[in-house]
Structure 1
């Protein structure tokens, strides 16, 4: 027996050779790429000496010492810090997709700095870390509160974290649109830039990073016990709740400290631990060693690419946060391959729902909604503020008022109908009441192509915008189909694939905010649903599209009724599941793309409308489609009216108002499912 144990000992897990080889190759590539522009002016030895001092007789040496060397040092320090924070976060939650970015910490920190800049500037003068830390704690606290009862399942945590990120981002954008003259530089900073002109920021940051990293490493032993499960860890004396709380607090401190110095550096904390695990790091000790090393190499390479892009372009700054965000989408999709419990989605529990509204007459509910819609139209056309205060526009003058108020109101109503229908299709198709058109990433694809058009310098009129948005939506749909085919278009993979596409849109948005200019302002207004750009022709074209698709919806009631029963039951009833899901996905994509051109890529109306239709007692597919379409129309008509009057004479994008309300509704709905 002892011989067999002795012979088994040497077969403990060993570190694969590919991990140090890949890490070394990554570092070598990043260092060579970073040093390449300087090698024509300085020798390798002189470039290395630039970290310690400079030759005052050599301009290149001075520039390397005060610009290149501190930028390289800052990239290595921050990349290592974020890699360690990501590894600890994934260990705490047992979630391979967890990171400071996907949990909303970075967006929360930026939100804290934004609020402090507007309302508490004295706090920023005292310390930029405090508002960033408070914002990060707010974000991660919301994620924990919403997903605690669901056991921190990977998909639910990521959905909650990214929706909190969207919601806080929309709030930040509202501040930017209202106070752009004060916050413009703040949002350039928020895109994430490692540009340095002296060593002072590095010298201020490195002691804090070292101390916080050391405190994290002190938690290594109790964190290892979490791998055994909560019950086993408690039986061994670990205070699980305290360990999690303390470790997450240190993660927020470290991440927020970085954000307060250089802005949002996205997805390094996700990419580094995922790569370490995929390359063979198995134990917690190995992950805590190799994640910082890979994070430092990744960020140095990403920062070098951002610097090259700035040099090769027209001279405008390309933020490092943009290049790091571009790796986030592929990393999410790569990490999904290792997730086994993606079935833990909100609303997919096997137990019966705790809330089933009483059925009500569809004709009565539809009639009430039509009356509300008509009242909203009358108020929107007639009762508005002007130069002499609030006044009523007589019906006889509505012809003149229509030019300014009519097309945008009609387009908002139609976009709401389209999103209500698309949301119902998606929720029925995936069996997930937390699904929405925004989560498919189709509207994100439309927005991404719009970003490319603006950055290319093309004069983007409304025709070009519509064509670009349609092309982007179609491309995102095609990519989504390729990603989800392997899983027979299952709901979880569709939603997470869509979220990965949104990561790319976020990268483009940060790039636009950093670039600034008139075109960027127009694009940002469109992306958050500026209905004042709509012409009467465009509104009528949207009406034609929606009417055409509505005629098709009459024949898909049966597939939508059967699909929630599950693949096996649906197939046994003669439904070709994969083809049915593909057809429904196409219909939802066309509706979403049409609405995105009008209302922007993020409004959450497609999430709210089907829910409200169900709350109003419409359980069958056909009735839910009709009522959800009407609810969506009422919601966006009201949002368009409020966007005109809330901050008059300024205007807020209607889609932004809808996104703020919709984000709150999403989080509230997630918490209800958690309690169930």
Structure 2
């Protein structure tokens, strides 16, 4: 007896008619918007015939046949492919937020193409698919390895996927900064562009997509059994592990083949299935069908908007990846409102004893950290490579060396201290040990404002930038706390919502990267924490700000001690909870903005420093704040020194090096969770 887990029960209402109507309207809007600029040059019938023929005596007809028609066809083909891949991924993992983007597959594909471009260009000449598929398999392999012990817990899978995406993206940016003369065009392509000048790419991709889609659809019946649960599916003869592996392998191939040809068009594979579910697709067959169709319509509309924006911006390229990335943030936030997950965040469900190391004297711990910081400062100021090899700068010459090494070192230390204190504030305020300015999107909010300032060309000086970044950081944190109220500030929603904000910042960065030029280079350096851009005046201004805010934090010790008890107990003990939360929010936002303006938005120091303070036995609020500040300063000062000497005479941004180490730390912490 066959079992179809997706058949509606007797009496269950049929699929809502709004689903086909909405998808039809989406397609109508996309096609109309795409065709509109051409209707003053060609008749509708001529525009339709441009898909298979052209009039050689009419330039508009030739242009439509070789440029517009293949671009529309490519958008539809890729959108349908990613929509189907996303729907299959969600079914395999039982996760409504899963997609090739959130699992890191698309970032992995770009990583593979980057490595092949640098070290094996002959492989790309043979087949760009191989490099992209290898990178995609690496990314999803990391995600599976990290979340295997958790039974593919939905939140853990998405967090692992997004951090793998950040991690591989940071490596890509390191290569770009070091080898920009070879990789500049690659990263403009990587921002996602569907521009075509003939039909060859479309007909090259079409058979690949059709074959992979046919193989995915061949798994339809076995995939239906997964809805019964692993035990029931096994009892009915389904080999669940093998089925999941096969389906995910096909998803990786589908996504990587797309990435290898047009770059990263992010979040179509997430948006299309979520849209199909929201509009009423119930059975697996319906979800696969309508996700595929919705994906084609969404990408065509996004590509048309990108084309319009390019035209309005005087021909400056607006990548399709920018407009599709702008879809991703709202989709994640929308999906979160109805998202439930029984798993706690890493670190929350373990017994307290496992996360309470032996208490140590704060004086001894602070003394050790200060000694290590002094050693790092001495090395950074005195021992470095030069034109004649490594040499030691005598103490009497440190005055001259200060001009080149001092301000950046001072700024790195102070930014690390600010992030350490901000991370402690956030973890205490939210009760979430995985919270940090980076992962809660606070750095992303500040970074997004900075991207907007660069795009608009506004020159408001460093004080203005700090004020704007603070507003962006406070707005991001306020929005997340507002969205998470209905979930009682659960760590799941806070973290995923924060990561969603990074999508918007990523969209802005892709836009600037595609424009090229000195503005893109300057913004890219800042985004990944180039401390060599810091003047002495700015370093001393940061010193005054951090010292002032650090003193003000003494007033927060009691609120930070009481808030983790819950709103009602804290209020009964005389704490004005609303005002305390607002004060902490503003302090965390200003500390984050000050460090973000200096070191960029993604370093993970705000996550690592409070953890190190706890590991070193500092459990009370005051002690943790002090030790986290010292640990943050030590981490970023060491990152700044290593970034200066590792690839001398080239330099890496200190924030980029910290992000690589911090990403590894986060992934290690995620994999460690769940071990008995």
Pairwise same-fold verdict (TM > 0.5): yes
What's 1:412 paired with?
Answer: 412
CA 573–137 in structure 1, closer or farther in 2 if over 3 Å, else same:
farther
* Alpha-carbon distance in 1 for matches of 2:308, 2:342: 39
Deviates more, 1:14-23 or 1:385-394: 385-394
Cα pair 1:192 1:264 within 8 Å, conserved:
yes
* Alpha-carbon distance in 2 for matches of 1:588, 1:251: 40
Cα pair 1:190 1:264 within 8 Å, conserved:
yes
* Alpha-carbon distance in 2 for matches of 1:238, 1:579: 56
What's 2:141 paired with?
Answer: 141
Cα pair 1:90 1:97 within 8 Å, conserved:
yes
The alpha carbon displacement at 1:472 in A equals 2.8
The alpha carbon displacement at 1:655 in A equals 0.3
* Alpha-carbon distance in 1 for matches of 2:351, 2:240: 28
Question: Is 2:77 aligned against 1:112?
Answer: no
5+ residue gaps, structure 2? 1-7
The alpha carbon displacement at 1:649 in A equals 1.5
* Alpha-carbon distance in 2 for matches of 1:166, 1:291: 27
SS in 1 for 2:602: coil
The alpha carbon displacement at 1:674 in A equals 3.0
Cα pair 1:146 1:674 within 8 Å, conserved:
no
Question: Is 2:165 aligned against 1:165?
Answer: yes
Question: TM-score by structure 2 length?
Answer: 0.95
What's 1:98 paired with?
Answer: 98
Cα pair 1:110 1:135 within 8 Å, conserved:
yes
CA 436–400 in structure 1, closer or farther in 2 if over 3 Å, else same:
same
- TM-superposition CA deviations, 1:135-158 (whole Å, max 9, x none): 111111111111122232222222
* Alpha-carbon distance in 1 for matches of 2:558, 2:661: 32
Question: Is 2:267 aligned against 1:276?
Answer: no
* Alpha-carbon distance in 2 for matches of 1:216, 1:584: 50
The alpha carbon displacement at 1:267 in A equals 0.4
* Alpha-carbon distance in 2 for matches of 1:635, 1:95: 36
* Alpha-carbon distance in 2 for matches of 1:206, 1:577: 59
What's 1:68 paired with?
Answer: 68
- TM-superposition CA deviations, 1:78-99 (whole Å, max 9, x none): 0000000110111111111110
5+ residue gaps, structure 1? 1-7
The alpha carbon displacement at 1:388 in A equals 2.2
The alpha carbon displacement at 1:461 in A equals 5.5
CA 169–392 in structure 1, closer or farther in 2 if over 3 Å, else same:
same
The alpha carbon displacement at 1:301 in A equals 0.3
What's 1:451 paired with?
Answer: 451
Q: How does 1:313-324 map to 2 (within 5 A)?
A: 313-324=313-324
What's 1:5 paired with?
Answer: none
Cα pair 1:438 1:604 within 8 Å, conserved:
yes
Question: Is 2:315 aligned against 1:305?
Answer: no
* Alpha-carbon distance in 2 for matches of 1:276, 1:601: 34
Question: Is 2:577 aligned against 1:546?
Answer: no
RMSD of equivalent CA atoms: 1.9
Question: Is 2:621 aligned against 1:630?
Answer: no
The alpha carbon displacement at 1:10 in A equals 5.7
What's 2:5 paired with?
Answer: none
The alpha carbon displacement at 1:498 in A equals 1.4
Q: How does 1:584-663 map to 2 (within 5 A)?
A: 584-663=584-663
Cα pair 1:436 1:607 within 8 Å, conserved:
yes
* Alpha-carbon distance in 2 for matches of 1:212, 1:426: 45
What's 1:361 paired with?
Answer: 361
The alpha carbon displacement at 1:628 in A equals 1.0
CA 103–643 in structure 1, closer or farther in 2 if over 3 Å, else same:
same
What's 1:430 paired with?
Answer: 430
The alpha carbon displacement at 1:425 in A equals 1.7
Q: How does 1:347-358 map to 2 (within 5 A)?
A: 347-349=347-349, 351-354=351-354, 356-358=356-358
The alpha carbon displacement at 1:630 in A equals 0.5
Deviates more, 1:336-345 or 1:508-517: 336-345
Question: Is 2:316 aligned against 1:327?
Answer: no
The alpha carbon displacement at 1:442 in A equals 1.6
SS in 1 for 2:390: strand
* Alpha-carbon distance in 2 for matches of 1:21, 1:394: 76
- TM-superposition CA deviations, 1:529-575 (whole Å, max 9, x none): 01111122211221222222222322333333344455666566565
Question: Is 2:212 aligned against 1:212?
Answer: yes
* Alpha-carbon distance in 2 for matches of 1:584, 1:599: 22
Q: How does 1:199-278 map to 2 (within 5 A)?
A: 199-278=199-278
Q: How many residues are paired up?
A: 669
Question: TM-score by structure 1 length?
Answer: 0.95
What's 2:4 paired with?
Answer: none
What's 1:3 paired with?
Answer: none
SS in 2 for 1:651: coil
Deviates more, 1:547-556 or 1:109-118: 547-556
- TM-superposition CA deviations, 1:413-466 (whole Å, max 9, x none): 011111111112222223322221101212112221222222223457645544
Q: How does 1:24-103 map to 2 (within 5 A)?
A: 24-103=24-103
What's 1:494 paired with?
Answer: 494
What's 2:178 paired with?
Answer: 178
* Alpha-carbon distance in 2 for matches of 1:93, 1:568: 38
Deviates more, 1:73-82 or 1:151-160: 151-160
* Alpha-carbon distance in 1 for matches of 2:153, 2:574: 33
CA 566–90 in structure 1, closer or farther in 2 if over 3 Å, else same:
farther
* Alpha-carbon distance in 2 for matches of 1:494, 1:385: 44
CA 9–366 in structure 1, closer or farther in 2 if over 3 Å, else same:
closer
- TM-superposition CA deviations, 1:597-654 (whole Å, max 9, x none): 1110000011111111122122222211111110110111111111111111111110
- TM-superposition CA deviations, 1:336-372 (whole Å, max 9, x none): 1221116521112154453542221110010011111
* Alpha-carbon distance in 1 for matches of 2:661, 2:599: 15
The alpha carbon displacement at 1:251 in A equals 0.5
What's 1:131 paired with?
Answer: 131
What's 1:378 paired with?
Answer: 378
What's 2:12 paired with?
Answer: 12
CA 121–37 in structure 1, closer or farther in 2 if over 3 Å, else same:
same
The alpha carbon displacement at 1:324 in A equals 0.3
* Alpha-carbon distance in 2 for matches of 1:294, 1:137: 26
Cα pair 2:153 2:343 within 8 Å, conserved:
no
SS in 1 for 2:82: helix
Cα pair 1:147 1:674 within 8 Å, conserved:
no
CA 432–384 in structure 1, closer or farther in 2 if over 3 Å, else same:
same
What's 2:344 paired with?
Answer: 344
* Alpha-carbon distance in 2 for matches of 1:591, 1:69: 51
